[in-house]
Structure 1
Amino acid sequence: MAEPDAELAEQWALVNTPLGEVWSGRTRYAAAMYFHKRGDMSAETLEVYRICARLDAEDPLPIIRDRGVGKEWLSKMEERKLR
């Protein structure tokens, strides 16, 4: 069964919740778990989101880049920005 586009769009919005908002780190982590479960995100990338979950102002993307993990995820995030 195909996944509803609305669910996917909502999860993209959640994983891109603005930095610094209360509970935004946890929101991004929850959405990251969704993408990991779909196979769109590696366990190493998900771990960065987990570490950042309680740090609402921390951007996980530079950490992912610094660790050299999640290149596919970074490409997807960049691709979404360009839309």
Structure 2
Amino acid sequence: MTSDADGIDTETEAAEQWQLVNTPLGEMWSGRTRYAAAMFFFKRGEMNAETLEVYRICARLDREDPLPIIRDRGVGREWLKRIGDAQ
């Protein structure tokens, strides 16, 4: 188990945030949930600013999938690989 300065289990937190960034489209507040989780990965250096910006844009659009936008913009290739959406 790895803990941060506040004693939070970082592995557990990352697993929870991973579930949140993959919240199904169309659920109420799902866009905001995905954006909040994306911010977590951005702060850890696991997502670039351009990819985070797409999640921000989609935050109020619960049915909008940010992944095709990220792919179209060509800004988050590493993130797409990680999330399993690289084409």
1:58 corresponds to: 64
Unpaired runs of 5+ residues, structure 1, are none
Q: Percent identity?
A: 76
Query: How many equivalent residue pairs?
Result: 79
1:14 Cα offset (Å): 0.2
Distance of 1:52 and 1:72 partners within structure 2:
19
Cα RMSD, aligned residues only: 1.5
Unpaired runs of 5+ residues, structure 2, are 4-8
Higher relative contact order (CA 8 A, sep 6+): 1
1:36 corresponds to: 42
Q: Please tell me whether Structure 1 or Structure 2 has the larger radius of gyration of its CA atoms.
A: 2
- TM-score by length of structure 2 reads 0.86
- TM-score by length of structure 1 reads 0.90
Q: Which has more helix, going by share of residues?
A: 1
Distance of 1:31 and 1:8 partners within structure 2:
9
